[in-house]
Structure 1
């Protein structure tokens, strides 16, 4: 028999705790997705139903999470707001991924002055605050969810481009790339059919990590009045609308959507880090 070092058990215990945390976070996110899908069935009231006689009512049987200043049920608004708060980041990252993956792959494949040009362009975008860039776009094209998604998509694209370039450079150096070149396959065909698909696992894991940041950025814009507009049930807008009620001693209108944002962002970060580790190791 061989003795097992006492310190050797720590990494195993640490990994098991991380796995358990990722499972709990994934289960919570599953419930959030179900809440978004079945919001019309789960919500006790329409999200835009105004009842001034029930303004700023606390928790109770009729309103489990209370109401806001307009008497709108907070549970119903949060359930319906789940849809906007989840779909908008997905669209944002999809738009940013198309641009970022294309630029990152082009820079890694071509190298030379193309790589230098793309790298300098992404560096300039990094030097410019992303939120300020989005606010400038909104100032030109107007406030709204669509403008926020497109503006943040442009702001997130350089981050994805840099990550794609780093993983594409290591993938490009593998022997199968040279084998396809010897067979006479063109560079564009190799990238589309072989290089990018082999990067998909790593990029997907990275996008899960970015999802929480995208959700928080969109909620911030809505809170500042640049994103979703009334009568939307967007969580960031709900926090902004509930802020004035804090002076009257009513914390729930701002606390409920704020807690929802924090919980979902943390859960996505936990699941994203775990997914990135697993997908990266498989690659």
Structure 2
């Protein structure tokens, strides 16, 4: 009987993974070099080009103020990508710390952290963000901080589940026998050993964070004019739909959808690779 050679799941490279990686690389480069590649300034108004269709002058058309949509999407990629990165950084610091503390101390500490995260889960995240924005005012900074606080319980629960399994491994007892303190073990060994699965989880959450920030900007709580944030662009392009012009909504909406899908593809792929290697 002839043996059939197969590639391990961890080495398989689906086409979707390559496409997602290439697309995100292009988006990141476009955001970094927007001043060099954008054909116009993002806020350059030209009423002669109001709702202009796709043309050599405006490759993706123009909005109701005659602003070039390609230029606005390129510049908008900066806030649309940096915002989720910052909110996940805030959520990770809080969530990883709480999840690790709960798994390490167990007992009443674990119970308290568990109840707090359960309460946060029961409270709708978007409503929590709206309440924070109502107190501290509109703006991207407030939206990022509020969403970071809202995402922290999710990361804390995931971190706790990973940390509980990690705390049962022999190297933890070995460091304890050597007299190393709990804080040193957690900071030097436990958290670094959990970095791979946590990073994989954060990649998946990035797309969700981008969608959440875009939603807040669409509702008027996040980025404010004259920002070219993608969520704000969708909001500002709505009136044009009544006039039969769909590009001001379609272009930023497609950018959001493609980036979110790409991050989800990479996140799932990364998680699968980690799962295979950890088995």
Q: TM-score, normalised by structure 2?
A: 0.96
Question: Is 1:260 paired with 2:255?
Answer: yes
Check the 8 A contact 1:66/1:74 in 2, yes or no: yes
Superimposed CA distance per residue, residues 132-158 of structure 1 (whole angstroms, 9 cap, x where no aligned partner)? 100000000000000000000000000
Measured in 2, the distance between the counterparts of 1:280 and 1:90 equals: 24
Measured in 2, the distance between the counterparts of 1:165 and 1:244 equals: 46
Measured in 2, the distance between the counterparts of 1:21 and 1:57 equals: 33
Shift of 1:256: 0.3
From 27, 39, 46, the equivalent of 1:51 is: 46
Shift of 1:19: 2.4
Partner in structure 1 of residue 2 of structure 2: 2
Structure 1: which 4+ aligned runs deviate by more than 4 Å? none
From 58, 74, 81, the equivalent of 1:86 is: 81
Measured in 2, the distance between the counterparts of 1:12 and 1:117 equals: 42
Instruction: Tell me whether 179-188 or 271-280 shows the greater mean CA deviation.
Output: 271-280
Alpha-carbon spacing, 1:217–1:178, altered in 2? closer, same or farther (3 Å): same
Instruction: Give runs of aligned pairs for residues 162-177 of structure 1, distance below 5 A.
Output: 162-177=157-172
Instruction: Give runs of aligned pairs for residues 118-197 of structure 1, distance below 5 A.
Output: 118-197=113-192
SS at match of 2:44: coil
Superimposed CA distance per residue, residues 53-73 of structure 1 (whole angstroms, 9 cap, x where no aligned partner)? 211010101001110011100
SS at match of 1:69: coil
Measured in 1, the distance between the counterparts of 2:232 and 2:3 equals: 59
Question: Is 1:272 paired with 2:261?
Answer: no
Q: What's the C-alpha RMSD, in Å, of the aligned pairs?
A: 1.7
Shift of 1:282: 3.3
Superimposed CA distance per residue, residues 134-189 of structure 1 (whole angstroms, 9 cap, x where no aligned partner)? 00000000000000000000000000000000000000000000000001100000
Check the 8 A contact 1:211/1:268 in 2, yes or no: yes
Instruction: Give runs of aligned pairs for residues 221-240 of structure 1, distance below 5 A.
Output: 221-240=216-235
SS at match of 1:61: coil
**Structure 2 unpaired stretches of 5+:** none
**Structure 1 unpaired stretches of 5+:** none
Partner in structure 1 of residue 239 of structure 2: 244
Partner in structure 2 of residue 60 of structure 1: 55
Partner in structure 2 of residue 32 of structure 1: 27
Superimposed CA distance per residue, residues 62-116 of structure 1 (whole angstroms, 9 cap, x where no aligned partner)? 0011100111000000000000000010000000000000000000000000000
Partner in structure 2 of residue 199 of structure 1: 194
Check the 8 A contact 1:235/1:258 in 2, yes or no: yes
